[in-house]
Amino acid sequence: MRASPISPTVDFDADGEQHGFLKLPYSRNDSAWGAVMIPVTVIKRGDGPTALLTGGNHGDEYEGPIALAKLASTLKASDVNGRVIIVPFMNYPAFRAGSRTSPIDAGNLNRSFPGKPDGTVTEKIADYFQRHLLPLADYVLDIHAGGRTLDFLPFAAIHVLNDATQQSRCEAAMRAFGAPYSMRMLELDSIGLYDSAAEEAGKVFVSTELGGGGSSTAKSVAVAERGVHGFLAYAGIIEKEVTRGEARTTTLLDMPDGSCYTTSEHTGLLEMCRDLGDMVKVNDVLARVYDITRTGAAPVEYRAMRDGLLAARHFPGLVQTGDTVAVVADIVERNIAVSV
């Protein structure tokens, strides 16, 4: 396979604190010999495990970029045992555009793995992570939120894996992240996911969904910041924080099958009838969709297909055929103590 066109301006093997770029040549109309410059930070002290922390996999999700930008400017080499690689704005073109996908090639980075060294800009970024950054890492954390089109209860997430030992380690890392909720997630389509690339490489991988709507809140950013520290402490890279006040807990959720998802079969005006965090029963009305081409028509009702907790919802006021309207998850266990 061809070499990656991306070159780092940092030395991943050097001790200390480095701030630089992943430099991807990109010739375009306004910059003939230009490059996409993806910011990267490496914090290293001695031998030890490596954590790869990413945000901005989708460019309209902000908890990860904020938390990781703050971490990159505050974490010192003296604080760590091992190495932390921080990429706050993973799909940098999408992040600069405030868009889920890249404005350069319409690429969805989280559906582009394993990537191609001679492909589109997005595929080249995926290839570099696949072949150069993931092999360096023992622990991988990819911070997501709902972006402009979804809103979530704040949860850390893992997938059910074939390797029971890897599954157990991922679940322990998820709980250490310490979000208010922890989810065993069922993907609609796992092909091309960064998650799958990390899991198939045997890494301890945790993702998140920490809100949405194309912005962030003080609470969602705080969850991300505490979670990053908990994840790094679980990895043994930083010391556990000494916490004061009320003990933190998480509620374990599960998405066992496709009935968790409610998908719109209509285009129109969306009325949500239940809020995030509500308990629902089978056949409860979750939402109504109104025809916006005429008045006097009765709305279409969308009902829960299972008992559970409303964990996610469509965010905009208009909905299209094929959009996810809601996600209902099972509650597995409440009030699990967060150990870090």
Per-residue model confidence (pLDDT) at position 83: 99
**Mean pLDDT on 167-181:** 96
120-166 pLDDT, tens digit each? 999 999 999 999 999 999 999 999 999 999 999 999 999 989 999 99
**Mean pLDDT on 320-335:** 97
For the beta sheet containing 285-290, the strands, ordered from the edge strand earlier in sequence to the opposite edge, are 300-303, 285-290, 268-272, 318-319
Fold of 258-331: OB fold (Dihydrolipoamide Acetyltransferase, E2P) (2.40.50)
CA nearest to 80, candidates 115, 122, 114, 49: 49
- Same-fold call for 7-254 versus 258-331: no
The tokens of 331 are what? 């509650």
Residue-wise DSSP of 219-239: HHHHHHHHHHHHHHHHTTSSP
Q: Within 10 Å of residue 243's Cβ, how many Cβ atoms?
A: 12
Per-residue model confidence (pLDDT) at position 340: 67
78-91 pLDDT, tens digit each? 999 999 999 999 99
Inform me whether the pLDDT recorded for 244 exceeds 50. no
Inform me whether the pLDDT recorded for 118 exceeds 90. yes
340 contacts 230 by C-beta, under 8 angstroms? yes
**Mean pLDDT on 42-57:** 98
> Structural domain boundaries of the chain?
7-254, 258-331
- Is residue 247 very low, low, confident or very high in pLDDT (cuts 50, 70, 90)? low
Which amino acid, residue 254?
D
- Is residue 186 very low, low, confident or very high in pLDDT (cuts 50, 70, 90)? confident
| Dihedral pair phi/psi, residue 43, rounded to 5° | -115, 120
**Mean pLDDT on 16-22:** 99
**Sign of torsion over alpha carbons 230, 168, 309, 257:** positive
% of residues, the chain, pLDDT over 70: 98
178: left (phi over 0), alpha (psi -120 to 50) or beta: left
Mean pLDDT of the chain: 96
CA atoms of 40 and 7, how far apart (whole Å):
12
**Sign of torsion over alpha carbons 255, 172, 209, 6:** negative
Provide the 3-class DSSP secondary structure of residue 330.
strand
Per-residue model confidence (pLDDT) at position 246: 57
Q: Which residues pair with 16 in a beta bridge?
A: 44
- Is residue 240 very low, low, confident or very high in pLDDT (cuts 50, 70, 90)? confident
| Cα distances (Å, whole numbers) of residue 13 to 50, 59, 84, 95 | 11, 29, 11, 28
- Is residue 190 very low, low, confident or very high in pLDDT (cuts 50, 70, 90)? confident
CATH architecture of 7-254: 3-Layer(aba) Sandwich (3.40)
311 contacts 329 by C-beta, under 8 angstroms? yes
Q: Within 10 Å of residue 281's Cβ, how many Cβ atoms?
A: 11
Helical axes 164-177 vs 218-234, angle rounded to 10°: 130
151-163 pLDDT, tens digit each? 999 999 999 899 9
State pTM to two decimals. 0.96
